[in-house]
Copies of this chain bind each other. A is one copy, B any other.
Amino acid sequence: MRKIVCDLHAELVRNHLVAWTAGNVSGRIPGEDLFVIKPSGVSYDELTPEAMVVCDLDGNLVEGEHAPSSDTAAHAYVYRHMPQVGGVVHTHSTYASAWAARDEAIPCVLTAMADEFGGEIPVGPFALIGDDSIGQGIVATLKGHRSPAVLMRNHGVFTIGATPRAAVKAAVMCEDVARTVHISRQLGEPVPIARADVDRLYDRYQNVYGQRSPR
C-alpha cells in the first residue's frame, strides 16, 4: 500500500493536478484501522515508498519518519465515517478550484460526467484547516451523493474511491470536466442532459464499463 500510494502521486503530476507540493493521496490498509498518506511538504520527486507515513483513523502518526500531510485530519475523518472508502485524494487543481472559489457546482452537461459523477459535482462548505471541519464538510456533502468528488469552497477538491486508484481517477476526471464545462460556458450556455439520460449513463458505466476488475 505504501508503494501504491507513493506511485499514484506521479499521476497527480502527470495529469497537471498539482503545483509544488499541494496535493496528496492516501489509501486505507485493508482489514486494519490504518491508512498510508504523503508526508508534509515533501516534493513529488523525492517521494519513496519508505517516506510515506502510516496513521490511525484519528490521524495520529503510527509509523514513519516524517510528519504526515497537513491534510491528514480530513483524510482520517473520511475513513472514520465512510467505511466503504478505500482511497482519498486532495488537490487544488485549477479549473475545479476556480468553480470552488465561486461556490458553484459543476452542472452535468457531458456524458463523461454522467458516467463518472452521476450528475453535478457539488460544493462543500468553507472550512479552516486545523480540526475536523474540512472532514465534516466532505462527509456531509458526499454522503448519499453519487459524486465521488466535492469542491470545497475557496479551497480545492477532495475525491473518494473504493481504492486509491479510483480516487485518483475521480480527481483526474473532475479536473477534466471542470475544464471542459468552464470552456463551454465561456461562449454560451451548454445544453443540459435530461435527468433520465444521466441516470441511464451512470447505471451503465458503474455496471458495464471496463474489464470487470476493481477500478
Residues of A within 8 A of B (CB): 15, 19-20, 22, 39-42, 66-67, 70, 92, 94-95, 97-99, 101-104, 109-112, 126, 128-130, 153-156, 169, 172-173, 176, 179-191, 193, 197, 200-201, 204, 208-212, 215
Contacts and interface: CB of A to CB of B under 8 A. Distances in A.
Nearest to A189: B102
- A interface, by DSSP: helix, strand, loop or mixed? loop
Nearest to A170: B20
B98 A180 contact: yes
6 contacts: A40-B211, A94-B179, A102-B187, A128-B197, A128-B200, A129-B201
A111 B94 contact: no
A20 B197 contact: no
B183 A182 contact: yes
Contact of A172 (B19, B39, B41, B182): B19
